[in-house]
Amino acid sequence: MEYKSYSSFDPNFLWGAGTSSFQVEGAVQEDGKGLSVIDVMQKNPDITDFSVASDHYNRVEEDVALMAELGLKVYRFSIAWTRIFPDGNGEVNEKGVAFYDHLINELIKHNIEPLVTIYHFDYPQSLVEQYGGWLSRKSIEDYRSYAEFLFKTYGDRVKYWLTINEQDHVVRIPTRLGLTGDDHYEQLRLGYQANHNMCVATALTIKTFQELGIEGKIGPAISYSMVHPASSSPDDVLASKDAMLIKHNYLMDLHCYGKYSHMFWRYLEERNFTPSIEDGDLDLMKQYPPTMLGVNYYFSEAISAFPATKEYPIGYQKKALLPEAEAGVFEVVNNENLAATDWGWEIDPVGLRLTLRELHERYNLPIIITENGMGAYDKLEEEDVVRDDYRISYLREHIKQVLLAINDGVNVFGYCPWSFMDIVSGRNGMAKRYGLVYVNREDFDLKDMRRIKKESFKWYQKVIASNGEDL
């Protein structure tokens, strides 16, 4: 029997790169833009705020020309909800609409596909003040009608739409829900209600997208870090399966099947985290599943059993950004087999192949990798040289695994390194650079913000020109 093996990428493979509105644009209150929870809640005196970021708002033509020089086939960016609707609903801000119209036209002019993230963490602060934001079911219609406005305004030129970026991060990082205080468990309880409302909003938005007859694909951009059992001990294997469910698959089961699995619902019940569900919610999700999937992959995690004890009773969570450990369920431990970045993220290209296979087997959707990259302390040397060979090696090894996953039968149609240019890291300021293009500013010194092509830019230019042959 003749087995087809893919020794190279499809000629139409979408080589891209990505950013997000709040991390790249700046101009947080210019031209009528309203405040988001990021502008209001995410204040960390040790790192820069997002008021200037990479000043992309004022440098669109220059930046898109650089994307064209790089040879991008697709550019992933997010639309700031409060540039379009400063209060999240109600009045439209025409200058905000015009900004994205101009960006999309510039991309089309350079034959670059726009890949739009409808909402990437920067939720309207006004909706939090009006009714508690995602905690209230009112959030569902406001999100759907915002998305509908975007479809009607840009749907003639935008074929790829990402509904919500990393919904699990929104749920687990209270400030992104506009929550204050430090009652971790109460915030989680509220978070799972917000999660349910976001899933209903996503399904209704996909319904609207289809009813409008918009050409193209739509789906969430999920964060997915592969997990490995820390040892072959059956308890560690069980813990790794539970971790996969609690960190990732609970959400994809809702988006794709409108289902709270028996184990996940029990997990929620045991902790009094169960959300209120209205008749028809789950059927809606089941009826309007995503037609594509954006996958954000950076690292894998080794998982060990974490038996509950008197000191750490069942359900105890080490207060962490994302579920890092929960007594009676699992704990993330170091993986001695892997090197890590300066921020301790374990570098695991094979984990990307495993992630793609897992998603293919469970959900069978076309996939575009919407984030994959290495944050590092890049150094600008004499004559504007940035020797980020570590980033070239990281991206090269992950791209190799994407082709292997395609050989395994996974439908991957694009790859977008994070990030096109240096941007403000959500939690680490300017120091944690991801860009293929260096932006000459520091956290507290704007310098001249000039753009400088890193060694990885020149390398990726060849990768794209050779359709992935010249790695």
Binding interface with ligand BGP (CB under 6 A): 20, 23, 165-166, 169, 223, 296, 371, 375, 418, 425-428, 432
Contact between 328 and 306 under an 8 Å Cβ cutoff? The reply is: yes
Nearer of residues 152 and 427 to ligand BGP, judged by Cβ: 427
Contact between 225 and 303 under an 8 Å Cβ cutoff? The reply is: no
Q: How many CB atoms lie under 10 A from the CB of residue 55? A: 16
Active site residue 61: no
Q: How many CA atoms lie within 13 A of 378 on its CB side?
A: 32
Q: Residue 168 and residue 248: Cα distance in Å, rounded?
A: 8
Nearer of residues 38 and 410 to ligand BGP, judged by Cβ: 38
Q: Cβ 223 to ligand BGP, closest distance in Å?
A: 6
Nearest to 55 by CA among 449, 336, 470, 471: 449
Active site residue 371: yes
Contact between 8 and 456 under an 8 Å Cβ cutoff? The reply is: no
Q: Cβ 165 to ligand BGP, closest distance in Å?
A: 5
Nearer of residues 165 and 304 to ligand BGP, judged by Cβ: 165
Bridge partner list, 296: 223, 371
H runs (alpha helix) in 122-277: 125-131, 138-154, 167-172, 184-211, 234-244, 250-257, 262-270
Chain centroid to CA 415: how far?
Answer: 13
Q: Cβ 237 to ligand BGP, closest distance in Å?
A: 27
Backbone angles phi, psi at 346, to 5 degrees: -75, 125
Write down the catalytic residue from 166, 326, 331, 346: 166
Q: Which residue is nearest to ligand BGP (CB)?
A: 425
Q: Cβ 424 to ligand BGP, closest distance in Å?
A: 8
Nearer of residues 196 and 433 to ligand BGP, judged by Cβ: 433
Q: Cβ 418 to ligand BGP, closest distance in Å?
A: 6
Nearer of residues 81 and 306 to ligand BGP, judged by Cβ: 81
Contact between 200 and 285 under an 8 Å Cβ cutoff? The reply is: yes
Q: Provide the annotated active-site residues.
A: 166, 371
